[in-house]
Amino acid sequence: MNKKRKEEAAARATQLRREIEEHNYRYHVLDDPVISDSEFDALMRELVELERQYPELQSEDSPTRRVGGAPLPGFATLTHKLPMLGLDNAFQAEELHDFDHRVRKLTGLSAVDYFCELKVDGLAVSLQYEEGIFLRGSTRGDGFTGEDITHNLRTIKQVPLRLYEPVTLEVRGEVYMNRADFEAMNKLRRENGEALFANPRNAAAGSLRQLDPRVTASRPLRIFLYGLGEHNLPLYTHADLLDFLERLRLPVNNHRALCRSIDEAWDFCRSWQDRRGELPYEIDGIVIKVNELALQERLGNTARSPRWAIAFKYPPEEKRTRVIDIRVNVGRTGAITPVAVLEPVFLSGSTVQRASLHNEDILAEKEIMIGDTVIIRKAGEIIPEVVRVLKEKRTGDEREFQMPERCPSCGAAVHRLPGEAARRCLNPSCPAQLVERIVHFASRRAMDIEGLGPAVAELLWREGLARNLADLYYLNAAQLAPLERLAEKSASNLVAAIEKSKGNPLHRLLFGFGIRFVGEKAARLLAEHFLTLDRLRRAGLEELTAISEIGPKIAGAVYEFFQAPETAGLLERLERAGVNFSEPVVEEGAAAERTLEGKAFVFSGALERFTRDEAAALVRERGGKVASSVSRKTDYLVAGSEPGSKLTRAREMGVEVIDEESFVKLLQL
C-alpha cells in the first residue's frame, strides 16, 4: 500500500511540476496567465506538502527550489568554457560603417546579414543545463571566471528549472529589473528607512550578489536570454539560435530584427532611440551581430571582444520637466552653488529631483527661471544637468532668481573673488562648510571612515561633537550611542573606523584636508616628495612650485593652508591623537618590483577585479603613472567593460589598448 502511495505521489509531483512551470512560463514570459493567483498558490502548496511527506521526491528542477535556501558563507567561482567577452562600442553611424567594412574585408564578402537586438541594461549571466535540468549559473566576472550564483538565479521565475527539451547547453543572458518594479521596491525601502538603490541596473546586480538567496527571491528580477556558450547544436544563424531558445521556453526579447545591410541595422538603431521610453525596462543601445554563425567563427575574437559584434550606444537620455524652485548649497570650500529643484522625472535609470546649475554665470547664460520648463539629462550618465530652457512654454508667471548676498548657512557676506565664477562664503566657521569638510575627510578616497556620511556628520556638528576634523579623533562610543540614528553597535563601529583611519598614508590625509585645488594626484605628489607633514608645512612657495606638476595655483593654496592660524591647532590635535603624518618609503630591496617605472596608464570602462582606485594604486606602487585622459605620452589604455570615448581616442593616437587580463599580467600579480 505504501509503495502504491509513493508511486501515486511521485506521479502527482511530476504532474504538478509540469503544470507549475507551464503557468510560470505563461505568466512571467508570455504575460498571458490562464489561472488565478490563488489557483497557482494551491498547486504550489500541494507540491510543497508532497515533497515534505516524501523527501525523496525533491529534485533540482522542482519549482519549490525557487524560494531560496540558507545564507551562503561566500561565492564560489565557475570557469566559462567559452569566454564571456565584452563588446566594442559605436556612437555614430560612421563607426557602424567602419565595423561593416572590417567584417566584409576579413570575410571577403560584398554584403553581410546582421541581426539586431536591444541592449538591455542589466547584469550578464551564464546558465548551465544538463539534459534539460538547470544545474548552475554564474556572473560574467572577468569574462573567464565568474561567481557561482546558482541559488540566486533559481529564484527568478522566468528561469526554467527544466527545459522543454532535454538538451545540455550553456545559455547566456541579462538579468534586469523593470522601472515600475524598481520604483515600487525603492518606495518600500524608503518607508522602511533602508538605503535606496541608485538605478535598476545597480538594484539587479546587488540583488544577484546576495549571500542570502531569500533576499534575492524577494526582489523583482527578470531575465532575457540572447546567446549560447560552447555547444554542438545544428544551428546556422543567430536568428535560428534565438528561435531555438524560444522553443526551449526560455525568455527571449521580442524586439529584434534581421537586417540585410548595415544601413538597415542603422535604421533599427534610430527607430528605437526615441522609442526606448516606451519599454518597461532600461536599454542603453542596440547590439548588432553577424547573423551567420559560421562567419562569426571565421571572424573570431580580439583579446577582449568579438570581431563579429558591436554595440551601438545611445547618447544620454533627455527628459522634459519643470523648475519648481532654485536654491543654493554651500560646499566645503565655501562655494555657493545654485541648484534647480525639479518636478520628479525618471531619467536614465533613476528619479531625478535636483540638478546643479554650477554657478551664476551658467544660470544667466541659460536664462533659467523658476517655473521654466526645461530639458535635462545626466552628464556622463551620472550627474543631472539642465540642457536648455523651453522658452516657448513660458506663461509669464516665471520668476528670476537672484544669487544671495549672504551665506544661507551662517549669514556672512559672500564674495566673488577675481577670476572665479563662484561666489564664496569666506567664514572659516561656517556650519555648512564644516559639515561638508567632515564628509569629504571621511570619504572613501580620503580617510575612508565607514559610517560617517552626510547625516551623521551633520548630527555630530549639531550636537557640538565635531566642530573641526580633529574632533573626530576624540569621540568615544559612550558619547555617540545615545544620539539619534546611532545605536550602541553603530557607535562602536564608527569609533573603530575612525581609529583605523589613523594609519592611513600621508597622501590620504592631505586629500582629506580639502585644500583648494589639491586633488588626489596633487596630494600624492606632495606626499611622495616631502614624505612627512612636518617637511611639507615648512616648505616655501619656491620649493612647492619646483615639484613637477605642482603649478602656482596649487602651491599657493597649499602654502596659504599651512600658514593659516587655525591649521597649526588642527595639526597639533591630530598628531596628539596619533594620526599618521608620513608617507611610506619604497625600500631599496623593493626596487626590482617597480616594473612599470615611467609607464603611463589611462583607464576606460569598468574593471571586474579592481575598482579604478585600486588599479591606479597598483600601477603607482610599481613606479607607473596614471592619467585621466589619453595623450601622446600614454603608454597603455586599459579597456574594461563598456569603455567610452577614450578608447576611440587611444586607437586614433596609436596608443596600445589592453584588456584587464593583459593588465594583470603586466602587474605580475
Neighbouring CB atoms inside 10 A of 371's CB total 16
Determine the Cα–Cα distance for residues 470 and 468; give it in Å rounded to an integer: 6
Residue tagged active-site, from 4, 81, 105, 119: 119
Of 326, 574, 553, 541, whose CA–CA distance to 417 is shortest?
A: 553
SS3 assignment, position 633: coil
User: 323 and 368 in contact (C-beta within 8 Å)?
Assistant: yes
Pairing mode, if any, of strands 423-425 and 414-415? antiparallel
Determine the Cα–Cα distance for residues 364 and 240; give it in Å rounded to an integer: 57
Of 571, 461, 568, 566, whose CA–CA distance to 512 is shortest?
A: 571
Cα torsion at 448, 454, 456, 459 (round to 10°)? 140
DSSP symbol at 261: S
Q: How far is CA 621 from the centre of its chain?
A: 26
From the CA atom positions of the chain, what is the Rg in Å?
29
User: 114 and 310 in contact (C-beta within 8 Å)?
Assistant: no
User: 428 and 566 in contact (C-beta within 8 Å)?
Assistant: yes
What are the percentages of helix, strand and coil residues in the chain, rounded to 5? 40, 20, 40
Determine the Cα–Cα distance for residues 82 and 170; give it in Å rounded to an integer: 9
* H or E segment to which residue 207 belongs: helix 200-208
Name the one residue in this structure whose C-alpha cell is 540642457. Answer: 387
Q: At 408, phi and psi to the nearest 5?
A: -70, -15
Neighbouring CB atoms inside 10 A of 97's CB total 14
SS3 assignment, position 265: helix
C-alpha cell at 434: 564644516
C-alpha cell at 583: 608617507
Name the one residue in this structure whose C-alpha cell is 568579438. Answer: 306
What's the Cα-to-Cα distance from 300 to each of 288, 293, 296, 310, rounded to whole Å?
15, 11, 6, 13
One-letter amino acid of 174:
E
Of 23, 43, 41, whose CA–CA distance to 33 is shortest?
A: 23
Name the one residue in this structure whose C-alpha cell is 521526491. Answer: 57
665 catalytic? Reply is: no
CA-based angle 585:591:593, to the nearest 5?
110
Of 475, 546, 453, 550, whose CA–CA distance to 510 is shortest?
A: 550
Determine the Cα–Cα distance for residues 486 and 479; give it in Å rounded to an integer: 10
What's the Cα-to-Cα distance from 333 to each of 134, 195, 329, 424, rounded to whole Å?
56, 28, 11, 8
Determine the Cα–Cα distance for residues 449 and 443; give it in Å rounded to an integer: 7
* H or E segment to which residue 273 belongs: helix 262-273
Strand ranges of the sheet holding 656-658, from the earlier edge strand across to the other edge: 625-626, 600-604, 636-639, 656-658
Q: Who contacts 187 (Cβ-Cβ below 8 Å, separation ≥6)?
A: none
User: 122 and 176 in contact (C-beta within 8 Å)?
Assistant: yes
Name the one residue in this structure whose C-alpha cell is 565595423. Answer: 99
Catalytic residue numbers, as ranges: 119
